[in-house]
Amino acid sequence: MNPHVETPILTAGLFDYAEWRAERLQRVKSLLVWLEETGLDLELARPVLQRQITRLDHDRMTLAFVAEFSRGKSELINAIFFSGHGQRILPAGAGRTTMCPMELFSDPSQPRGLRLLPIDTRLQSQTLAQWKSSPQVWTYFELPSQDAQGLAQALTHLSDTQRVPLERAQELGFFHDAEELAQLTTDADGEVEIPLWRHALVNFAHPLLDQGLSILDTPGLNAVGAEPELTLSLIPSANAVVFVLGADTGVTRSDLDIWNRHIAPASGAQTLVALNKVDSLWDPLLTAPQISASIDHQVQTTAATLRLPVDRVFPVSAHKALLARIQGDGPLLARSGLGALENALNRAANIDRRGMLDGALREAVEQVQTALDQQLRQQLHDTQGQLDELLGLRGKNANMVVLMLQRLSAERSEFDAGMAQVLALRAVNNRMLEKLRERFASKSVLQELEQLESRMGAAVLKLGVKGELTRIGAELRNRLVEAETQIEEIRQMLAAAFTRANSEFGFTVSAPRVLRLNGLMQEFDRAMHAYTEHLSGVNWLKLQNNAYTLRTLRGLSSRVRDLFERALRDIENWDRSAIAQLDSQVRERKKQLNRRLATLQRIEDTKDSLHDRINELRAQVEHIGTLQRGLNDQLQRVRLG
């Protein structure tokens, strides 16, 4: 990085985020190690903390850049992420632009390099996710990551094109728009130019990418519109989306098509607009205030056209920003406007993401603290009870010990008999949970979608898709509603059983928390709406392409399966946590009863002195207090920061 230009805001923010995430990860790991050494029962706490460790360790952040061709999107990515190389890395400029969607990431578990999926695979029904598991289909190029010029040269393959007959191009998803066809010119052989590649995976070591950042670059309406997975899965799941427009062209019809069809439906606070090439408005014949007014007018017009708040539209000059960073020109960099966009991206992709992870971690810590505090209080109660019991024996004769042994043996027998209720509870709970599993089983959930896929694959005209998806969506959503009712039935059953156990055995088991599927239902509703709308109306002509229809339906099936599997995992974790409370207290009670019996037996057999055992119990009480203070300190350490 040029020393005369400060580190980019987003770059600094992402490194800060990665450092924060690594620190929190280490704190949670240290907490788990400390807990393992205490000898506490961690059946409830361990899986809760392990889930947080996995989440922090594998967290990935995706930034999606979407634009029509020639809006300067690749140059913007170069300016934000790759100016430290001292030159352009992604192809940009006249005649050099990325022609296919690209995922840029760092994954040492996969081969480093550039993998390109041939455009002809669009004629087949496999989804992009399925193609990613078939490496032999992709064309591979090595990437010399330590050689900026060689890296840039290798990535020029992203601009590769081929010429094919118009009919072939249309089979592959290009040139269906009437206006586009009217402006299209063919060569002497009646051929047109299309991208050679359908999708690119760029895996190479880079400081930001190594921290878990990935960049999704999606060029052109043809690329976005022809790939339902981009529109309906990859772009909506990005942590932030940057829609790039040209200040020299304003919002064109094709820009508006991309926005209305593919971005606006899932647009949120993490969707930003970069009004690029603002340097085209730097007219040397105008005064600075006049230039500023011209830029402001373009921003206002863009925001109004896209129906966005003005503060989400950022006038930038990617070209000038890249030049400024390479040359160390601070004033030019400030004038380029890139800082404001990077600051907004930093908030959307870094600060907001951090807040979400931190919120989940704090919730997990509270859950762990509740469970372990309860366990330690129960241990303290039982240990203090034993101590009081033995203190009451001082000065008493041997017959008193025998009577206490008899009473304690009867208490353990009564407790063991009562455990039959716990086994019966587990059996009932397992039966109820199995019914929920059946409701979420992939084969059952996806049956009707697979039947629709089969019917559409055999149909000459793809009619009635919207109505079928609306019906299937309603039935699947009803499964979620009914599942929520079953969850509440399980909760009430467990709460009643826990109340009885608390009353009969002096346990302190809390009633299970209420579990709602509202968030997941909202995700399901958005996904079904997006796919239903995508498979109707303006895309009717595309639906007549069998491979496109099957790819889209399979993408929907994959999305639905993922949502239902996540719901089932949440339900099973919730149920496991609830039952673990009871199991923990049952084990602890058995342990305490056995200890009391062993103590009295030793005293009766004169194998141990009453005085020594009283001292042991006093030491245990002190140790429990130390554990309570240590637990509070450890949990507070995880919360801070």
333-381 confidence digits (pLDDT tens): 999 999 999 999 888 877 778 888 898 999 999 989 988 998 898 889 8
In this structure, what DSSP letter does residue 235 have? T
Measured in whole angstroms, how far is the alpha carbon of residue 375 from the centre of its chain?
33
Q: How far is CA 511 from CA 162, 365, 377, 382, in A?
A: 65, 18, 17, 22
Q: Rounded to 5 degrees, what angle do the CA atoms 179, 180, 186 make? A: 130
* pLDDT value for 458: 64
The whole-angstrom separation of Cα 475 and Cα 470 is 9
Which of 157-161, 545-549, 572-576 has the least mean pLDDT?
545-549
Give the mean pLDDT of 618-634: 93
Residue 102, H or E segment: strand 102-105
* pLDDT at residue 4 in the model: 45
**pLDDT at position 616:** 87
State pLDDT tens for residues 135-169: 999 999 998 877 888 888 888 898 899 999 988 88
Residue 134 has pLDDT above 50, yes or no: yes
- What's the pLDDT tens digit per position in 49-58? 999 999 998 8
Going by DSSP bridges, is the β-strand pair 240-246/61-67 parallel, antiparallel, or unpaired? Answer: parallel
> In percent, how much of the chain has pLDDT > 70?
92
Q: Is the pLDDT of residue 592 over 50?
A: yes
**pLDDT > 90 fraction of the chain, expressed in percent and rounded:** 39
Is the pLDDT at 3 greater than 50? The verdict is no
Cα–Cα distance for residue pair 213/22, rounded to 1 Å: 14
How far is it, in rounded angstroms, from Cα 123 to Cα 47? 45
Question: What does pLDDT average to over the chain?
Answer: 86
Residue 260: per-residue pLDDT: 87
Exposure string (b/e) for 407-428, b if CB count within 10 Å is 16 or more?
A: ebeeeeeeeeeeeeebeebeee
Confidence bin at 392 (pLDDT 50/70/90): confident
223: tokens are 């690329």
Provide the pairing of β-strand 113-118 with 139-141: antiparallel
Q: Which CATH superfamily is domain 9-160+196-327+335-353 in?
A: P-loop containing nucleotide triphosphate hydrolases (3.40.50.300)
> Can you give the pLDDT at residue 1?
47
First to last CA, the chain: 29
Average pLDDT over residues 71-86: 88
Q: Rounded mean pLDDT of 405-422?
A: 80
Q: Could you report the per-residue pLDDT of 435-476, keeping only the tens digit for each?
A: 999 888 888 888 888 888 887 766 655 677 888 888 999 999
Kindly state the helix (H) or strand (E) to which residue 251 belongs, with its residue range.
Answer: none
DSSP-assigned letter for residue 90: S
| Domain extent listing, the chain | 9-160+196-327+335-353, 399-604
